[in-house]
Structure 1
Amino acid sequence: MSRLIFFVLVVTLQVRLTSSEPLPTSAPNNAGLLERAKQAYRDTKTKVLNVGSTVAGFAGMYYEEHLKPVADPYVEWAKDHANSLWDRVKSRMPSFRATQEQ
């Protein structure tokens, strides 16, 4: 998340510095520049988060409609085989322990 914040800050500053507005040269106006940069950062962050949630929604919808119907049978098959393997191991453990004690 910190990389995203840094990236958004850099992009925001680049956009603000390359805009057609001249940069203030006096010291009292620098505080205004900082406030405008903060607001631009907040606005950009909000836009990026909104786009991210939209992309996540589309990805979730795509998974539910296209990938899950294909993947579910394989997942169930793997679960069944893992359970049957574990059941076989558990059933043989008492006889394995008995041979080890002799």
Structure 2
Amino acid sequence: MSQFSLKILWLNTNLAIAIDQILGKTNYPLTSYFFWPRNDAWENLKTELESKPWISAEDKIHLLNQVTEIINYWQEEGKNIPLGQVRKQFPHYFFSGSL
């Protein structure tokens, strides 16, 4: 699964998630950012992943499970948690944000 990376904008009122593909030491944007709860980011990412036939079904499921985990954490407790603490909770994702 190391060939993909989640990029997350951690904001007070929104969460934005994008996926990069990692080839060698370079990250390439695979999707644009999709915002939650403004839009259904999970569904948008699912549609984007389905349009990419070179990504295995297993990788797609794994990525969507990661997205679910991040969205659930943000909804349940993460909105006001300092970004540094969020980074410790999810060390394998790339975060930026306002907290």
- TM-score, normalised to structure 2, is 0.27
The structure with the greater share of residues assigned to strand is 2
- Indicate the structure whose relative CO is greater, using CA pairs within 8 Å and at least 6 residues apart: 2
Higher Cα Rg, which structure = 1
